[in-house]
Chains A and B, each alone.
Chain A
């Protein structure tokens, strides 16, 4: 199964958590510290670092698998993959620009919040690329689940449950990922001047085409559609898409570093960096996104950019009152989907629900699961809903 090369560090962590469990003393789990401002403020007297769990323990490029310690800097993971012409399929976002934080993001932090960027629309989320995990639960027990092979239905899939659990079920110590070959070439079709509804309609048309679109974003009157692959594929697909989208607007093809820069901007929400105000992240049905934003704009001051073909909406609004929480929740509730407050001061995050409140039955189930893994609620208390 997974290779516990950090067994010393993992054993020490388990020891610490056993003691914390016995004392009922809450801990905040910290990797690179770049995302501590996400979620609700944690109520813990001390922080527990994952930095000793660093390094790649296994990498088989021919099998598309990588096993890595949770405390490993994301940059180290990306450098190792790049050296073999591979990459993480899910294109994780770097939150530093948006949150104004410093430090080095770790792979454990990426997994713990199921951090997925623009390519999620085609290649799947971080959780889809996770094949196996080791973690220490809130009792101090070391638990393994999954493995390092792509197809594995041996028992329950706790790997998915751990992805995006914000550290409240256990502290990840090691993660196995499915990786993918990095493409030879990329091209972005840029259409200027569409309004939000027309932009999202163009994205839907592109994603419904046979050319394997793996980036689809819209904001400030600019619509972006990305294809990646071998040079010859891109030479075929990019013009084919321009042609197929004619009814939506005139597309211009951008390649190379200029294309990469466009997608870094989408991934890291550059539009809302360095500005005073709250930032929300909505996950909705793509065709619902433009009318939802239009209703919000009728009620207040909201700016929007769209990723994932319209299914992911980033909203910018003044951080006054409830930072738009009431209006946003009402609109998402009416249509389905959910909203998360990504950036706001600690007092705002303490005062409003950062995460979408769960229906009662789901909330009760989540509470039972959390109690099963962390009976004394010592892990990141307060951070996640419930």
Chain B
């Protein structure tokens, strides 16, 4: 992975930068020994690694501001980090950077049920936000698969989603306000516990900007009352195209399920062998979940069954109990782990219009044959967010490169049919060089002008999102 050359001025001032950081932060909050900073040399995209110059773990917004001011003064790049679960290399360090981790900042600052929001420090994990309010009947809707570990900071940086986004939206639809520290160390309050803020929608552009516009230290999040109940139905089909048509017909009929998950045969087999969920051996499987009271659920599932029956399903199994629901979900939730037992794999993340599903699955099958690499497909069918898993052998020379080439071709296909390169993982370093397949240079220039407005010296989270050659001039000028 091509990364910018370390700034010699910053490297020459390494000791002084560390000393200044140590003065500004409490004992133990700055890590600089090589063996200790190695813990931070990569995120969940572990194929690429680089030890940072130092790691700062502040405990408050004021300390975050102090770190940024010092780095700003020395022109040192800063890579913000939540829990380090980015699958796109969004927190990959450079050799001259200071990693600014917010993991220590994980308090709940305010819970307000009358006004339905929670204010947290952004090192808090996604699932623990719901954990703080669920005893009172509330939840935080965005549910990335990594929700046990991932931090709200990273969720905001990547505008994360999950299985339930068809109904509840992604992070940007549930974020009401942030406290943002700019690279210059200025603390800004954007939005708050009201439903629309005045002026330009800065909150909207900060969310999903991959930590390049500022460091978000506090977030005001919308919380929702939990529905009375939820229950899934599992449906098996002989053809993927038919399953795809069924998804579209359910949506057209006015039913808005909380989740529609799709798995193809290789994925079904692997999950079944791993989780023994009782999945049928079919070409395509849908898990559709609806919410409401028991009667409402029965009524909606009856509608769904009636629609599905027109598509000659091989099997339809409606959950009748919490145990059956758990079993149906167990297989799906084990998908990535189950595939990992069979082979090494690369998990892609592209989005397509649902109507393009048959074409895309067909083309991926053809590519799989021509590359000689197997593929398993699992995705959020309601919103078209695909996760093809390309299987390879990490010990076989050349396999990883072949796999990467195949992956890039699949993502280009997503764009070609009207979709996009990434639905929830982000661009990071992983997909930055594909950006010109989705956007024209003028489109990217517009985005880079936004970066100029927030971070004129291009110091925050360098070399992510944009093709590195497009940003060279700006980085050098800074």
Contact = CB atoms under 8 A, between A and B. Distances in A.
Interface of A: 1, 60-65, 84-85, 114, 116, 120-121, 124-125, 127-128, 137, 141-145, 147-161, 163-165, 169, 180-184, 201, 204, 207-210, 212, 230, 232-233, 236, 283-287, 308, 311-312, 336-338, 340, 355-356, 358-359, 361-362, 365-366, 368-370, 372-373, 384-386
Given A208-B225, A311-B194, A153 B423 contact: yes
A349 to B, nearest CB: 16
Interface residues of B, number: 96
Contacts of B204: 127, 157, 159-161, 163
Interface hub of A120, A163, A230, A359 (most chain B Cβ within 10 A):
A230
B195 A308 contact: yes
B188 A365 contact: yes
B404 interface: no
A153 B225 contact: no
B418 interface: yes
B101 interface: no
Nearest to A338: B198
6 contacts: A114-B201, A147-B351, A149-B351, A149-B384, A151-B351, A156-B450
Given A182-B254, A286-B115, A154 B421 contact: yes
A386 to B, nearest CB: 8
A88 B299 CA distance: 25
A124 B169 contact: yes
Contact of A340 (B116, B166, B198): B198
A338 B442 contact: no
B427 A336 contact: no
Interface string B99-117: 0000000000000111110
Interface stretch (B58-66, B333-341, B432-440): B432-440
A153 B165 contact: no
Nearest to B186: A361
Contacts, number: 267
Interface stretch (B27-35, B42-50, B244-252): B244-252
Contacts of B113: 208
Contacts of B225: 207-210
Interface stretch (B234-242, B270-278, B289-297): B289-297
Contacts of A164: 196, 200-201
A298 to B, nearest CB: 23
B52 interface: no
A358 B190 CA distance: 10
A137 B440 CA distance: 15
Interface hub of A232, A355, A365, A385 (most chain B Cβ within 10 A):
A365
B385 interface: yes
Contacts of A365: 188, 202, 453-454
